[in-house]
A and B are shown apart, each in its own frame.
Chain A
């Protein structure tokens, strides 16, 4: 293709995005668009899969049968989200095996939040309320993103996520209405998950390298800082209802702006976790890699069996 031809295609492409038309897998797209989407969708899928581990940690110990069932259902939903997202990503010409390879080698990232440990039952509440809450703020705009398969996957994901968030909040509410010990457990969980949840919305606008391009492609509608503010404004009143204190001495409602002012995020901690040195990065990766390696003989068996069956069918047909 000549340079002029590529330029023409790019113009047509940009115009389609401007008209809010969906881009579909067989449509022409700039290489950078394809690569950015592969990066974002696969990292999103990886986050769902790694995200099963901190919550899976409490399945055997959930305090009631009802909570155990809800937690199992939630983790199952997450595995399902991973599945849709991997499929959406495969439409861009990358295989699931390649994506796994990138995850296991550390080339692809996943959400930094899942590198924090779940140390009490209250963490199941805090994760639903705060982590899923922050995820929803990030993900709702993606239901209208320009790449069709991603947008459609997100519609389903968001529905289930908001259900999970309500469930998490209900766990917190039950704890806060319970004994002093339970309320203390809830406060401790909020203390530990608050700042990492704010970090989920990404680095500040000044530090965010992909924002401008993502805005153009409608992968993003608001900046990280705007989303973070939205999350805080929505979450602080919910903490009030629970009777819990946000662990930020600088948190204060600003009459003038109509928003909550808040304290400085520890960005050193954020970058440390993102670079692989958070509290559970090593354990999460090890669990994934072990599952993959220990499962190799099972996948090989499935392939071999399918081949034998196919051969038998061919033999029968001839």
Chain B
């Protein structure tokens, strides 16, 4: 047993987090910043954070993750990190020449109270920012929220680039939230099939799934441009996918530049994708092409073909709130039971939404926001499930409890495919179901006695 010290009996814990279902803000800001074209993320703190965040993202994507750091020393930690950041800005533009530096903070610079805005202004006034180059910044204190909050904060900083304007350009902003480069590509494909002209931000496709060619570009061709971000205030509206990841930026654009917004769920699964496609159709005033209706029908067909294997199966799921909400809805739509649901990210709304989605189950879901994987495992020990869904850290529980395990979410450190094949949209729904079926049927094949071992399933 790998997790042999986890007792079945659940004792209340108030202070000790064990096996977290979240990590800290700056990594989310770093990921979001990589979705800007020509951008070098910068971590304003001591250098350990930056190394950890780059390593984790690299292990997930198997791609280079470039980011710089202010490399605080003890002196800077006491007297302020302004000199470090000014030096860093100068060095970065001289040596690496990005179009944009996107600065985020850590618990260190937030605790000492460094003022990013003031330091950036000083950098500009001292001529450390070359003509035509951009600096943006987002405060990302690690002791508030989670990596999802950090992502949201940097996306908001991107929206804050929007110029003051009365013009409308007919485009629609889509904020996809923390999804994979493959998912961002899929969202762009769907929008283009419908004929909606979108600005997707952030957009890590073409950045974190680059080819091997013998050339290394620190700044690959993908990403949303600063020009597009500046024009995001001219959009007809904003579709924000995911309350936790995307709503802040969308609401800011609404409040500041009167760009109306709708906050939708992330388009994982049938119903959430339906709502997303319907919203796109409405904003574009266009009808949906048959090809998309066919994709939807194929997903429905697969559900009907394989319903017997989904029906009544109990699932434990952990991850980030926006993703988990849509996934739970998807599981319910194929008559599976999300029995245990945990996110490490705080937010009371989460528990409420999950309870609504699972209200028609014959038993009550166990759900906790700001929970951890230790608790989830304890629940599973008390009454097992048929499937566990979550990031790579779930493999320890899956092995101990001998439970089929779907890797989905962030980070996935031990498998490939997530950066190339989407899980959003109807196509993504097909892929999710293929993976779930593969797990359930492989288990059936493994466990069936020889006399009932079947060729056709």
Verify that A and B bind, or say they do not.
no
